[in-house]
Amino acid sequence: GAVVSQHPSWVICKSGTSVKIECRSLDFQATTMFWYRQFPKQSLMLMATSNEGSKATYEQGVEKDKFLINHASLTLSTLTVTSAHPEDSSFYICSPRREIYEQYFGPGTRLTVT
């Protein structure tokens, strides 16, 4: 069990456009979803935490109006990068949690903003 899909796996977009990343837990329900990003040579860093049906909680330094998170169901969460800029180029990875301390991961999305 514990299969997580994430789409797209990579995307290139122009500066100023928006990009939506979709994360699905295929064989379990996730009440909590974590979104991480990783810059080159850095560790995975938490961006935000969302619980199904509630507003996401963002980490310090992460703009909530720029990174819109929707967690409308127990199996689907989306991250929309609005008005993307080159500095938003990064690797984004979702992590649905099935039980406390039991987290799984999507395969990630490589975003390049030109």
Partner 1 sequence: ILNVEQSPQSLHVQEGDSTNFTCSFPSSNFYALHWYRWETAKSPEALFVMTLNGDEKKKGRISATLNTKEGYSYLYIKGSQPEDSATYLCALAGYGGSQGNLIFGKGTKLSVKP
- Least distance between partner 1 and beta carbon 48 (Å): 10
Burial of 70 (0-12, 13-18, 19+ CB in 10 A): middle
Q: Determine the 3-state secondary structure of 114 from DSSP.
A: coil
Per CB under 8 A, 9 contacts partner 1? yes
Give the single-character DSSP code of 59.
Answer: P
- Least distance between partner 1 and beta carbon 51 (Å): 10
Q: Which residues of 80-102 are buried (b: 16+ CB within 10 A; e: fewer)?
A: ebeebeeebbbbbbbbbbbeeee
Among 97, 109, 111, 113, the residue binding partner 1 under the rule CB under 8 A is 97
Reading the block at residue 9, the tokens are 């796996």
- Least distance between partner 1 and beta carbon 12 (Å): 17
Q: Which of residues 12-71 bind partner 1 (CB under 8 A)?
A: 32, 34, 41-46, 49
Binding site for partner 1 (CB under 8 A): 4, 9, 32, 34, 41-46, 49, 93, 95, 97, 100-101, 103-108
